[in-house]
Amino acid sequence: MGVVLQSALYRSERDLERLSALGARVRLVKGAYKEPKTVAYQKKSEVDAAYTRMVQAVLTTGHFPAIATHDPAMIRFTLDFARYRKWPPTVSNFKCCTAFEEISKPHL
């Protein structure tokens, strides 16, 4: 069992800290719903910034994290950060669209 966090929500970064400290499995998504501005970022750039911060956190302190996105820029960021952190591909759990296959192929 695990938890899904939406980076679009203001509270998600704090939730991620608490859940990581507990050893919870977390799946990170950007968020697909139009939430009110009282609880969520409204601009794509703000959601993307929160998502990248949370990707870094979950790949640094998370326990078997899952990263979910259809955004090619976020897929690239996640792959680059995972390589930087030297995550072996066998322990990575990326749930992405088919663009993942093209982005992750070595370029000759």
Report yes or no: 45 and 18 within 8 Å, Cβ to Cβ. Answer: no
Q: Mean pLDDT for each consecutive 10-residue tract of the chain (108 residues)? A: 92 96 91 90 95 93 83 88 74 47 48
What pTM, to 2 d.p., does this model score?
0.80
Angular region, 23: left φ>0, alpha ψ -120 to 50, beta rest? left
CA quadruple 13, 19, 21, 27: dihedral sign: negative
As to burial, measured by CB atoms within 10 angstroms (0-12 exposed, 13-18 middle, 19+ buried), residue 45 is exposed
